[in-house]
Amino acid sequence: MNPWLSFSAAALLCYLLGAVPFGYLIGRARGVDIRTVGSGNIGATNVFRAVGRPWGILTFVGDVLKGFIAAFVAPRLAAKMGFAGNAQVLAILCGGAAIAGHNWPVFLGFRGGKGIATSAGVLLGLAWQAMLIALGVWLVVLLLSRYVSLASVFAAAAVPSAAWLLHGRQDRLMPTALTLLGLVAIWRHKSNIRRLIGGTEHRFGGRRGNGNQPSVDK
């Protein structure tokens, strides 16, 4: 098969995988349209708050698996099927497509989540050491601040530094791709950043600083 056709087909399939809205489907199975409650976001945090802890965890696992399957499993399946192109490029492309699918899912009118869980799955498949560093940053910031969004922004910012530190000497492609991934994740949290600055962001397990309406989450 033509390598460009292979790249295109793989990207499309991984986009469709990423676009599977686990949060929405799980909410529907529980009789809730997750888009109309809480923050209206289809991500794990809103499911956790609006539907329940087990369902939020299940959503998180599903979203992580989308990214991992795209970045780690799909390229290996392609190799077994005779793909002869650059495996690293294919893995990065598939991972990015899955994140794009989660953030802008065709099945929900291109209104999706913020991509943190799916990005974590992609990181696990592409550069697990960078993922562990980002996870450590996320946990520390969450424990200190109790802001999921702030923890996610700090973790996303840690990814490029970790990638360049771990891979920069021998490989420029991977750190560059992970830098873009981190920037996209931060950009997706722009509304949260505005609320953090204004003191109206929702704390995990608590209320907003100046109100009691839930915030947009991942």
- Tens of pLDDT, residue by residue over 12-25, are 999 999 999 999 99
Give the bridge partners for 202, in sequence order.
Answer: 208
- Residue numbers of the chain with a pLDDT score lower than 50: 207-218
Closest CA to 188 of 214, 162, 218: 218
The C-alpha atoms of residue 70 and residue 17 are separated, in whole angstroms, by 8
Whole-model pTM: value is: 0.88
Handedness of CA 74, 181, 156, 169 (dihedral sign): positive
- Tens of pLDDT, residue by residue over 82-132, are 777 788 999 999 999 999 999 999 999 999 999 999 999 999 999 999 999
Domains in the chain: boundaries = 3-198
